[in-house]
Structure formats: structure tokens, C-alpha cells
Structure 1
Amino acid sequence: MKKMYCLLFLIIQATCAIAQQPMAVRIDSVFSLAHKRGIFNGNILIKKGGKILYEASMGYAGAGKKSMLSRDLLFDIGSVSKEFNGVSILMLQEKGLLNLKDPLSKYIRGLGKWADRVQLKHLINYTSGIPLFDPLAEEKDETIWENLRNLKDVEFEPGSAYLYNHYNVFLQMRIIEEVSGISYADFLEKNIFVPLGMNGSIVDSPTDGARMAKAFDNEFRPAAYAQGMSGWVRLTAEDLGKWVEALDHYRIISKSSYKSLSENFPGGESSLGSTGFVNGELNFHQHQGSNSNYEALIYSLPQQDILIVMMTNNQQMKVHGLKSAILGVLQNHPVQVPKKSVYLEVRERILASRTKGIAYYNQLRADRSDTYDFSFEIGDLISTGKYLHRRKHYEDAIYMFELAVKLDGKPADIAYGYEQMGNSYLGKGDKVEAIKCFQKAIKIDPDNLNAKGMVSSL
């Protein structure tokens, strides 16, 4: 009995010792385990009360394991970069140089009649209806211009549905140039980078340049950069932190402009990703972006003065889970470090062979649930379906969506599966089945306005 009490005392003593460790040490243990599990290679910046609580560079600067990351390296941040063009549009509105209700045709000439119906507000919340021409093509600016000038009409009535499309970003940049009279890169340098002291920020810094962290895959092979369009902000974690702090405390645009920019179509992202207001005050700001094995996440709690910045050159799609673990440490809640992504593990296998890929997926579920995360299985299946859809494997995509909607899940998630299934039927040219899927989505989740917009358009 005495030995049992002694053992119990030692366990309690060890638990208390861990709980009393400095917060930075506990955060470091989270990222050390994440790196060991192979789900994070990148730079991290965490601030609380305006001061750096934790900052680290963890892992390799590129393929081949030849050099380690450092805090001064730049990362591509994917769609988080769209915050800069969105904010720039609002800066110009505050100066009285444009209005979000203006039609696109007022600033960009040579487009079809559809440009009279697309307002600037539709561009910043991705409801313009401009279609995805080829989501995998390395479209350079010239190709985008050609596609826009040859476009006869938009996919749906502007404002009636949401479709994330980098053409909206491209047009915002061109409007900024038209109104300001200078290049987009020069506009950011003059109005944002220099005033905020963002000395490690460059528009279109070459991804193979000496200042960049180089993206690589899980086999430590270089990841080809697939985005041909210009205008992407690449920067350090420190600069991204400066940006978020200034933006969320209304030092760049006013509170009313911030709210305008944060408005989103139900089920879709705004130009600021996701935001929440409580009693009129900003409660949180979260934005994740990815591009060619780069991934970034910003998470801000302005009222608690907490800021989290993560940037990786080896995308594992676990930044949200790591953010939750960090918050657990900061708020003294239980902490769980994420496991590996099922989606990233199976998508290429299913693309190569649906039969073999699904067999491998079932094997992981049966034998490797200790290593791979099956906590949001419906989300992984839908993501795999979208991956197949983008590669025009529409039958395989529909199969994955059918698997997804059979699982237990939230109505909104099941409805989203049917919505994506409808998009794949459209890809096949089957409007009848597409409408049936959109109608199922609406029945399951009447708030799915995207499906309603597509039914109305079809």
C-alpha cells in the first residue's frame, strides 16, 4: 500500500511539474512532437500582450535536408496574400477613389457585358460568378487576360453564389493599378510595407531565390511552384505578424472598412478568411492559405491580445490542429497534438487507381488509426473528391462524395458533399443530376445558399 501511495505521489508531482513549466517550454514541446510526427516543418511566431511568447524555426529550408530554416526566410502564404489586395481596395475607397458598388466595367475595359453586372464587392467576396477556367493550369497574366476578354458570361448571377477563384484577385490588382497609377507591388511597398516596417516582404520574390524557404514534398523532393499569376506577397513570419496586428487594430483601414471586407457569402470565405464580432468588436481573425506545398495560418484574438503565425514549406494540412493545441496551452486546456493527414496520404493513390486507393484507405482506417487522423473523415473524403474534380476525374470525385455523404456528419457538411457532387456532375455535362444534388443539399441544409444559387442559375 505504501508503494502505491508513493507511486501516486510521484505521478501527481510530475503532472504538477509539467503544468508549472513556462508556457514557452510547453509550446515548444507541442511543436517538437509535431515535427517528430512529420506534420510540421516551418517557422512559428506566437505573441501575447504585444510581446513575443514563442518564436522558432523548425526543420529544413528545402529539399535534400541541406540547410535548416531561419527566421529571416520568406514563405509563400497562398490565399492569405489576398488580404493585401482586399485591404488595398478598401484603402482606395476610404480616399474616395472608388466605391465597392462600382461595376467592374468602370475600371477594366474590353470585357463582355457581364462586367457591367459584376460590382467590386463581388470581387472581394468571390461572388462574381467568374468561372474556373482550368484550376490546375499555370496561367500567367496574359492567359488570364485572354480568358477574361473571351468570356461571354459569368457562371451565375453576381452575388447569388460563392466560387473561390484567383481571377477575382487578379482583377482587384488591376483595379488598384488603374486607380493608383502605379504597379500593385509599388502600391503595397509605398502604402503598407514601408509604413509598417515590413522589411522582409516582397511581391513575387522568386520561389527559387536565396531568400526563400523552398517547398518540398514528403519524400524531400522539390515541389514545383504551380501558380503562374503575378502579385503574390512572400514574407517572413515577423512581417506577417506585423500585418495582422496593424490590421486587426484598425491601423491600416477603419473599423467600418474592416467590417465591409470581412463580410462573406454564407459558407464561403471573405477576403480576410474568417472573422467573428461580438457586440460590435472583433473577436477573432483566422486565415489559412496554401500553394504548391507552402501553407500558412494566422490566428488573432485581439481582445485577448493573442497572435499565432505559422508558415510551412512542407504542407501537412495540420496548422488548424496545431493552432488548437497552442490555444490549449495558452488557456490551460487539454492539449492534443494532431496526427497525420489521411487526405494527403490517400489522394494520389486514389487518383492513380480508385480501387487500390480505397483499399489502402480502408487499411489505414483498420490498422493505422494511431498514426493517421480519422476524426473528420467526411472532410477528408470531400477534400479528396475536390482534388479529383480539379483533375477532371469526375466519376472518381462523385464516388468519393457519395462515400462522404453516407457518413454521420453535421447537416452542413453532408450538404456540402452533395453540393460538390453537383459540381462534378456539371463537369461531366450532366445538368439533370447536378440539379438533383444541389436540391438534396438545400433539403439537408436550407442555409446552403451556394446550392440555391446554382439551382437558380441552371
Structure 2
Amino acid sequence: MLIRSRAARPAIQHAASGTVAVMLSCALALPAMAQSTELSADQTAKIDAVFAEYAKPNSAGCAAGVMRDGRMLYAKGYGMADIERGVPITPASVFDIGSTSKQFAAASILLLQADGKLKLTDDARKYVPELPDFGKTITIDHLIHHTSGLRDYIGLLVLAGFSLEDVTGDAQVLSLLSRQRALNFPTGSRYEYSNTGYFLLSVIVQRVSGKNLAAFARERIFAPLGMSHTLIRDNHAMLIPNRALGYAPDGKGGFVNHLSNWEQLGDGAVQVSVDDMLHWEGNFLDPKVGGAAMVDALQTPGALDDGKPIGYARGLSGGTYRGQAYIGHGGAWQGYRAMFERFPKQRVAIAVFCNSDSASPNALSHGVADVVLADVLTTENKPGKAGTSKSVGKDAAAKPVDAAPYVGSYFDATTDTVYRIAEKDGGVVLDMSGRMLPLVSDGPGRFSVKGFPATLSFEPAGKRATGFGFSIGGEPPQKANRFEPITLAPDALRAYAGNYYSPELDATLTLTLEEGKLAFRSIRYAYADLAGPLSPAMNDTFEGPLGFLTFKRDASGRISGFGLSASRMKAIAFERRD
């Protein structure tokens, strides 16, 4: 459920570990490029402090760029693009920017509309007949605005047995999508972020233009704007000059390689440097590609079919940070994290690209905004908007909070998501499948997820909260209600054990009874992170790393199957086969 992410995990990604400290003694002496006298030495020092934990010769890191009026005010690299070879990150280092790529897929579709080759109101099945007919037209704009209801293809691939290291392309995804029997929700009735829509945009671009998205974007966007080092990775084995390699923390203070071999386009796969993003930012200020019509369309928020507005535009999403409007997009993919956001009123843009799974570029970007826009930002972020505290570069001092009213289990029936609130080390944490995410108090009953644009607003009833609203990126909150998990004896759990087959995935899943717990242990090409015990939640429901399972019974009361919900996929059908 990570917003604006290609990541397959059904939870918010790891927060950056450790306290951000100023480590100038071991900082890399990399020159800032294209600096302007508009930033003082004090300002540049404060920006460097935001990235201080990455400025080490044995660490993955980030490249950051600050742009104003189409000029680069400050650009610098922190940490290593290649740890093994000691190659430092610079503003010219090329990163996989994950879902930050989506604006380029949307721009490509808008260019084809301007060419008269398609319309945003066209039925997506006109170009992708492999999609099942779900009873209502899914338009191209539904795909763009994440209102189609289509299940997320990344989770589908994982549940079908493909690891992120396997080589997969369009064929595997289209085959899975053709097998789906249901949507997450009726088309046009809700906003729910889904990578499937943008993958399908890439398919549409190829079938309409005769060129894949990589070639089309190079010819129509990157080359005309002078983005000479930017490309879309459409071959897992291709060489990418000046690439920053992707890493993940090894849990011992070091890093391991972390790269994916998936070849799908549209929802991600753009490889770009901070330097090249200056040219893309310039196109918003003085549109040379697509003209004002395309730039306006990219930034215009969408709406549901009933006219209710949503915050997501076309590959970009708006919000407010400390009183100032911004529009941008984050990204997360195997070994990479990214954020590109624009503050239109100030004509300022900030790019933060990182090559570690542990980085939090949205928090880092807002830390840069705290410095560059200090004269116009309010003291705190407005209530109801997700953001970070005013002290992003350093951990803000946490106010003591009584965790007792909030501790417990909560269930969001809209997305079939279980949340657990726990007390840890004197603070309040959000426990999602064993991943402990610290919560920072923003006022009575209100918390933000440390390092991420997400908030929880609790509904108190006396001394005990009955539920909370969970909001990501300023979107309308999803309601989660408190429940008391049931307890089942081993004899009762045995009724759920067995083999289950999903026609929608063409995969078999086996549940076993191990050490008195129901556990998932086998799936084709087993994906290790999903294995493990399942915990009883409510009657005939379980939750765990695999997701949320809702079991069904036949007329005799015997378990006959279940629906599996996980990571932007709801109620995938499994039938008992033993």
C-alpha cells in the first residue's frame, strides 16, 4: 500500500534507519554543480546537513537538485553510486526513479492525443482487447487517474510465483490480467493507486505509435528537451552509462545489491539524473514539448465518475506542505527511492534520487524545502495534510504520548487491511506484518508516520479509540475500525489446512498446520518474504505476510476456498483442491 510506488510489498517501505547526524569529517568532497549566489553558504550547509547520513564513502546515498526559474541553484551527490568500486554519486549519476516515471507515460499519452491518434475517453479495451469485460467501460483516463479498479499487476506477478529477480515482460502481465474475474472496486467509484493502469498506458503507446514507450519517449520527450542521459530501461541486461547501482541495507551496517530484472514499462523504469531533470522542469515553465495544453493536463487533478475530485492528476499528485502548494511524485523500486516535486507559486523544484531501499526521499525533499523556502513556509504543516515535521534533517524531539488509548488491532474493510498499533520503547508504532513504523504525535489523537506522507487520525470513545482514518499523501482517509482478534485451537485451525488453486493466478497455494499455527509454506517459485504463520483475525479470516484471507464454506460448513487481499489487490479467488 505504499503510495506512488512500484514496490510489491503490501506495506509502507522501511523508514531510513538511524539518526541523521552531521558527519562532515567523513563527508565526500564532491563539488556542487551550477550553484547560484541566490543560496547562501548557510543555506547550502543546511542542505548538506539534511543528507549528512549518506555522505560517507561506504554508503549508498542520494543526488539532490534545487531548481528555480529553470536554473539549477544547487546540485550535489552524497554517498556512492558504486560501493564496490568506490564511484561517488554526482548530479550526473543516473537513477531508476520508480513511480516518479509515471508522468512521462502520461505525457506520452497526451502527445498521442494531440496527434489525433487516441482520446482519453477511449475504451482501454479498444487497444488492449486482452482485458476482460468487467461490465463497465474502463477509459484511458481511468487508467491515468487510478480509478479503473484493476488489481495491481506487481502483486499479481508475485502471487503467481515470479520473484523480482526473474525476467518478466509484457506477456506475463497481459496473461495474468486476462485471467482476472473481478475488480477491486467498480470502475470510476474510487481512487486506489495501481501500477496496472500505467503499465497498460505503455502497451497503448506501443500499439498506437508502433514504438515501445522507451523509443517513443526518447524521440518525443527526452531528445527534444536535451535530456541526453535519460532513457527507459526496457531490457534488464542493457548497459546504462553512469548508473547508480541499487542497494538494500544488509542489517549489519552495510549494503547488498538489490536490482530487479522486470522489463515492464509505464509505471516505472525511467533512468534519469538530477541534471537532466532540470530540462524536464524547464518544460513546465516554458513548454516546448506538448505545449501548455500538455503541461496543464499533467497537473490537473482528476475526478471520480460522480464528479467528486481526487488529488491525483496525470502522473503527478498535489498536496500542501507547511502552507505551500506543491505537485510531484515519489518513486520506490528495487534498490531505489525518488522524489520530484514542484512548488509552482515559487517556481521552485526539488529532485532527490537515492540508491538505497532505506532512504526516505520525500522527507529529504521537504528538508530541502525547509531551507530553500524558509521565508514562505508556515511553522507547521496544515492539519489534514500529510507531510513531515519542520526538523526533517534531524529527528524531531518526540513528545511523550500515552499509547494505551490507541494500542490494539484495526481493520479497513474497504481494502481488507489489518493495522496493529503497539507501544515500543515508550512510543507508539504502527505494526504492519511485523514491520514497526514509528508514529509521531501531531496533536490529540493524530499521528504521522515518521518519514512518510501518511497520517492516522483516531476516533476516541472515552479512554479507548474505536478506529482511525488512514491517509496517504493528503488523499481522503480510509476508515479502520477496532476489532478483537479471535483465538483458535489447533484442532479448529486444521480445518483450514489444504491446497488451494487460483484460476486468476494459475497458481496453487498450500496452507499447513505448523507448531499450532496455520502457515503458508509453498507457492510456485516460492517468494520467501511471503512465507510464514497466519494469525486469526475475525471469524474465518486470517492475516499475515501473505495478506488477508477470507475463507468461504460450502453448504455442509466445510472450508471450500478463500479470497486473498494484498498490496492493492482485493479478494483474489482460491478454490480448495483436496
Q: TM-score, structure 2 length as denominator?
A: 0.55
Work out which of the residue numbers 263, 267, 279 in structure 2 matches 1:242.
279
Instruction: Note the C-alpha offset of 1:324.
Output: 2.4
Higher RCO (Cα < 8 Å, 6 or more apart): 1
* 2:289 counterpart of 1:252: yes
Q: Which residues in structure 2 correspond to 1:333-412 (within 5 Å)?
A: 336-339=391-394, 362-363=424-425, 365=427, 374-375=439-440, 380=449, 406=465
Code of the aligned partner of 2:281? V
Cα 1:358–1:26 change in 2 (3 A) is closer
Q: Give the whole-Å Cα distance in 2 for the aligned partners of 1:150 and 1:410.
A: 34
Task: Confirm or deny: 8 A CA contact 2:96 2:271 kept in the other structure.
Answer: yes
Q: Give the whole-Å Cα distance in 1 for the aligned partners of 2:480 and 2:467.
A: 14
Q: RMSD between aligned alpha carbons? A: 4.2
- Residues 242-287 of structure 1, C-alpha deviations (whole Å, 9 max, x = no match): 213313544333444444443235566333332369xxxx953221
Using the aligned pairs only, state the percent identity: 23
Instruction: Note the C-alpha offset of 1:184.
Output: 1.7
Cα 1:317–1:58 change in 2 (3 A) is closer
Q: Give the whole-Å Cα distance in 2 for the aligned partners of 1:147 and 1:202.
A: 27
**By percentage of residues, which structure has more helix?**
1
**Which residue of 1 is the match for residue 432 of structure 2?**
none
Instruction: Note the C-alpha offset of 1:81.
Output: 0.7
Q: Which residues in structure 2 correspond to 1:50-449 (within 5 Å)?
A: 50-64=70-84, 66-114=86-134, 117-132=137-152, 135=155, 136=158, 137=162, 138=164, 139-204=168-233, 206=236, 209=239, 211=241, 212-219=243-250, 220-225=255-260, 227-230=262-265, 232-247=269-284, 249-261=286-298, 262-265=300-303, 269-275=312-318, 284-332=326-374, 336-339=391-394, 362-363=424-425, 365=427, 374-375=439-440, 380=449, 406=465, 415-416=477-478, 418=480, 427-429=548-550
Cα 1:206–1:340 change in 2 (3 A) is farther
Cα 1:70–1:362 change in 2 (3 A) is same
Task: Confirm or deny: 8 A CA contact 1:105 1:115 kept in the other structure.
Answer: no
Code of the aligned partner of 2:244? A
**By percentage of residues, which structure has more strand?**
2
Q: Give the whole-Å Cα distance in 2 for the aligned partners of 1:64 and 1:340.
A: 30
Instruction: Note the C-alpha offset of 1:146.
Output: 0.5
Task: Confirm or deny: 8 A CA contact 2:470 2:479 kept in the other structure.
Answer: no
Task: Confirm or deny: 8 A CA contact 1:129 1:155 kept in the other structure.
Answer: yes
Task: Confirm or deny: 8 A CA contact 2:363 2:451 kept in the other structure.
Answer: no
Work out which of the residue numbers 42, 61, 68 in structure 2 matches 1:41.
61
Q: Give the whole-Å Cα distance in 2 for the aligned partners of 1:255 and 1:105.
A: 29
Instruction: Note the C-alpha offset of 1:102.
Output: 0.9
Q: Give the whole-Å Cα distance in 2 for the aligned partners of 1:94 and 1:381.
A: 42
Instruction: Note the C-alpha offset of 1:51.
Output: 2.6
Cα 1:51–1:91 change in 2 (3 A) is same
Could you list the runs of 5+ residues in structure 1 that have no partner in the other structure?
Answer: 1-18, 342-356, 367-371, 386-404, 432-453
Instruction: Note the C-alpha offset of 1:58.
Output: 0.7
Aligned length: 370
**Which deviates the most, 160-169 or 76-85?**
160-169
Task: Confirm or deny: 8 A CA contact 2:222 2:228 kept in the other structure.
Answer: yes
Instruction: Note the C-alpha offset of 1:298.
Output: 0.9
Cα 1:236–1:274 change in 2 (3 A) is same
Code of the aligned partner of 1:168? G
SS at match of 2:364: helix
Instruction: Note the C-alpha offset of 1:22.
Output: 4.7
